[in-house]
């Protein structure tokens, strides 16, 4: 509950920051007529909207498990991540279309010096959002929120490219503006690939090998554990769950269960955002007979 509340708070604040950035840039689009700035503004607006499905996912994740959804509703975060991919990809298509249209129907850029301010505004807004989302996402273990933060950081550098278009126009090369607009659209699609891989990995139950190694070390260092035979971890939203089979040297059920419980406590201590972790003891082969 606390993690979900932190996630929702991060999304609310970052959404309003990006919406404020978008409004300021939209005003400057009207004053300059820059298609490069329009592409960046469309993308920043799309990024602001991506907070909505994540917000819904965090709220859904608070619901208790049911007979139908026995693992709860944490996977809603992964569904939100898929929706984010779609929205961002759509913004790239719209931005690219506008850039191509400007090639076909050229129009002069007015007040190109304002594009410098617009690029700096876009960079500042995205960097603030990136810092906040990444920090909170790592704290609560939300891959979707971290991915959204990394994406915002890369978008900040995309906003800076608007300044290049302004420099080109000031130097007497008006096509620099639609060229930068088209490059922004292409860069959005390229940067989106990282988010696709991150969300796809979660859907395939991939985890960071470092998490696996931490859990494995915690089990191996628990008292009277001879070996770790099996270990599984999976993400459900921004929380982990898993199981393990360990070898113990005692044939007595009560003693083996006590060792397993102690080993599970070790893993919980090593990995803070771990929920249910079931440890099953098996008698060590050398002690059989």
Q: What is the pLDDT of residue 144?
A: 66
* Domain boundaries defined on the chain: 2-203, 209-287
Nearest to 35, CA basis, from 157, 152, 174 = 174
Q: What is the pLDDT of residue 289?
A: 40
Q: What is the pLDDT of residue 143?
A: 67
Do 2-203 and 209-287 fold alike per CATH? no
Top-level CATH class of 2-203?
Answer: mainly alpha
Fold of the 209-287 domain: Alpha-Beta Plaits (3.30.70)
User: pLDDT tens per residue, the chain (289 residues)?
Assistant: 556 677 778 888 888 998 999 999 999 988 888 888 888 888 888 878 877 887 888 788 778 889 998 888 888 878 888 887 888 788 788 888 888 887 888 777 888 888 888 889 989 998 998 898 888 888 877 766 777 787 788 778 778 888 888 888 888 888 888 888 888 888 878 877 877 887 788 888 888 899 899 999 999 999 899 899 999 999 887 788 999 999 998 888 889 999 999 999 999 999 877 888 999 999 876 544 4
Residue 235, beta-bridge partner list = 240
- Dist. CA 37–CA 29, nearest whole Å: 6
């Amino acid at each position: 509950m606390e993690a979900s509340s932190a996630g929702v708070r991060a999304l609310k604040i970052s959404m309003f920051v990006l919406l404020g950035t978008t409004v300021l840039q939209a005003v400057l689009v009207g004053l300059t007529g820059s298609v490069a700035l329009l592409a960046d503004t469309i993308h920043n607006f799309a990024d602001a909207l991506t907070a909505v499905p994540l917000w819904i996912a965090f709220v859904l994740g608070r619901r208790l498990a049911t007979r139908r959804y026995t693992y709860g509703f944490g996977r809603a975060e992964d569904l939100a991540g898929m929706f984010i991919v779609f929205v961002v990809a759509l913004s790239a298509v719209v931005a690219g279309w506008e850039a191509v249209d400007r090639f076909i129907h050229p129009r002069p850029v007015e007040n190109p010096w304002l594009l410098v301010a617009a690029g700096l505004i876009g960079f500042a807004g995205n960097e603030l959002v990136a810092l906040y989302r990444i920090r909170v996402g790592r704290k609560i273990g939300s891959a979707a929120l971290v991915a959204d933060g990394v994406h915002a950081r890369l978008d900040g550098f995309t906003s800076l490219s608007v300044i290049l278009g302004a420099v080109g126009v000031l130097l007497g090369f008006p096509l620099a503006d639609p060229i930068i607009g088209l490059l922004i659209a292409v860069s959005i699609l390229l940067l989106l690939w990282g988010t696709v891989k991150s969300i796809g990995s979660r859907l395939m139950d991939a985890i960071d090998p470092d998490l696996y190694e931490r859990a494995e070390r915690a089990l191996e260092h628990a008292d009277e554990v001879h070996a770790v035979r099996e270990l599984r971890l999976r993400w459900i939203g921004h929380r982990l769950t898993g199981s393990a089979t360990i070898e113990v040297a005692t044939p007595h059920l009560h003693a083996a269960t006590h060792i397993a419980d102690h080993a599970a406590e070790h893993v919980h201590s090593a990995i803070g955002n771990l929920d249910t972790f079931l440890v099953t003891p098996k008698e060590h082969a050398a002690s059989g007979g």
